Amino acid sequence: MVKEEAQKRVQELHDLLHQYNYEYHVLDKPSVSDAEYDRLMQELKSLEEQFPEMLTSDSPSVRVGGQILDAFNKVEHRTPMLSLGNAFNETDLRDFDRRAKQAVGEDVSYVCELKIDGLAVSLRYEQGFFVQGATRGDGTIGEDITENLKTVRSIPLKMKQPHSLEVRGEVFMPKKSFESLNKAKAENGEELFANPRNAAAGSLRQLDPKIAAKRNLDIYVYSIADVGETGVSAHSQGLDLLDELGFKTNPERRKCANIDEVITYIEGWTEKRPNLSYDIDGIVIKIDSLEQQQALGFTAKSPRWAIAYKFPAEEVVTKLLDIELSVGRTGVITPTAILEPVRVAGTTVQRASLHNEDLIREKDLKIGDTVVVKKAGDIIPEVVNVMVELRTGDEVEFSMPTHCPECESELVRLEEEVALRCINPACPAQIREGIIHFVSRNAMNIDGLGEKVIVQLFKEKLVENVADLYKLERERLLQLERMGEKSVDNLLKAIEMSKGNSLEKLLFGLGIRHVGAKAAKTLAQNFETMGNLQKATFEELVAIHEIGDKMADSVVTYFDLPEVEELLKELVEYGVNMDYKGPKLVSTEDIDSVFAGKTIVLTGKLEQLNRNEAKAEIEALGGKVTGSISKSTDLLIAGEAAGSKLAKAQELNIEIWDEERLILELKK
């Protein structure tokens, strides 16, 4: 076959196989036999082998998995992937409804969707072609798993229209696929997956995409990250558009006119849940109007216009075999229930946190008791109560110790705290747990330094504080158990890379009491360098809106410690960055710009700037760029083919500029 004929046939095969794949995996209505599909796929592969230049990123043949990867690259989400607040009962739902109506008026409708128990992913398309897929990660930074996501056959490699957009969805493993996978693992003597969610997550994090391709994963796409030029004004419209573009959306969704209809929908699925071919762990409720969503906005962690109703937890009965104690990085002594293994909500549970001595007394727990156990939110094992009527008299009373189980220091109970605490700064357990926190994903994010490795390093006296991580030597690491050349090299590379992290990552990693990830970023943005923060006074700290008295006092106390000063000096010597690298805080009062304090929408195609560049420049000059037009919009920047947003802006008498005017103002 000559090249021109081959090119034409390859395109025909692309179109046919994409269509047959869509019919089978999205519509569940196959129009050809498996044998015919396989024959056409084999023909395509043969042509791609004969003409390698014809193998494209959207070829149906990439579904089988490509080359093995060395590692997953990090991806910054253009729109953060936030988590949802939770509702556990009707009262919570009605409170959510009341808050929404207080903010946007009585005319509020909702969309209810099944909450798939899988792994959230983001899919980015350029001109209709799938170009990148990523995990949720910490909501801001995820991992690039594009090659693995190409093997999920219900994800279109090419949309039915040439839009450039980003969509969000949940990848899951159907129950039948999970059962088949675990059956095969059992036959091979391998460790079984605990549940379909873990199996899906484990499959997508395989460095060999061919493994992911064999796992029969599926996806339901649930939103467009930024509706952009789609003309969509409601969430339900967005889902309908996703259907038109060839995505697989959940057919069980329902638009509800009010909260009563939402509650009826939830009651129905609470009963029907076991009959589904996949796992769900709740119902997601979203306000339908995008304008109302924008008006409600977000908290630091979640949108105010959506909530996840969690199904009541399954409760089971088991034995309390023992109570173990652990020492956390802040010295808190936490008792943990050791349970006779029992299956709860899809996984085997053997341990459950008892939190503190007061809880043990309140529940009247004794070692040997028969207890009721559930998973709070279907995730965290919890002892609900004791079945006192089943006591035999052989049960043993439990008492909290007076001294630390790790360092033997006397334990104290600080004022207004229920927890017992070890206040010895040299306590090995606290140091070890502090290092585990330091390397965690939201802190310094050092891949390869899991809990087991850190315990090993600590036991071998290779690390005694976080600074010691930066003087680890290759030859010494190779002498440790289960540490081969590749894993050691990868670990040292990850440690080296962590030196370049922005200041907020280091601040959070240091484990300053009361300073979480969000507060660490706030401090880093406001003070910009570690040196500035070290010199900050209590008054300067509490002057920042998000910083309260407790946190300010904790920060000042922490930096006053001589051992902290020594630690920071060591980290500087090893080359760890001490400066904030993110976008600077800008007060609109200090900006002499036409954009300062204004809400701006970009629409249509810009010729001289791309959308992200324009947004970044406007925000640097104090403007706020949003995705949809509302009464609160001050300015619309309209490029070519502006569409419905332009019409709406004209209707609302909003000021409108073209791209030339935008560039002129940016240059001033």
* Residues assigned a catalytic role: 115
Distance in angstroms (rounded) separating the CA atoms of residues 503 and 528: 8
The size of the chain, in residues, is: 668
| Two tokens, residue 562 | 């001589």
CA angle 326, 331, 335 (to 5 degrees): 30
Query: What is the SS3 assignment for 225?
Result: coil
Which helix (H) or strand (E) segment holds residue 187: the answer is helix 175-187
Torsion from C-alpha of 167, 168, 171, 174, nearest 10 degrees: -90
**Cβ(286)–Cβ(254) under 8 Å?**
no
Question: What is d(CA 105, CA 99) in angstroms, rounded to the nearest whole number?
Answer: 10
Q: Is the distance from CB of 487 to CB of 448 less than 8 angstroms?
A: yes
Residue 167 three-state SS: strand
Residue in 234, 57, 238, 47 with CA at minimum distance from that of residue 156: 57
Task: Report the C-alpha gap between 419 and 596 in whole angstroms.
Answer: 48
Number of Cβ within 10 Å of residue 610's Cβ equals 11
Query: Is residue 454 classed exposed, middle or buried when 0-12, 13-18 and 19+ CB atoms within 10 A define those classes?
Result: buried
| Residues facing residue 135 across a β-bridge | 121
- The vertex-106 CA angle with 100 and 109, nearest 5°, equals 70
- Other Cβ atoms less than 10 A from the Cβ of 546: the count is 12
Is residue 342 a contact partner of residue 352, using CB atoms and an 8 Å limit? no
User: Can you say how many angstroms the Cα of residue 254 is from the centroid of all Cα atoms in its chain?
Assistant: 25
Query: Does residue 139 sit in helix, strand or coil?
Result: coil
Distance CA 452, CA 481 (A): 11
Closest CA to 637 of 616, 622, 618: 618
The closest alpha carbon to 263, from 90, 102, 395, belongs to: 90
HSE-CB for 437 with a 13 A CA cutoff: 21
Give the C-alpha separation, 245 to 568, whole Å: 53
The sign of the torsion formed by the CA atoms of 463, 466, 468, 474 equals positive
Return d(Cα 191, Cα 642) in angstroms, integer.
55
**DSSP per-residue string spanning 349-390:** EEEEE--SHHHHHHHT-EET-EEEEEEETTTEEEEEEE-GGG
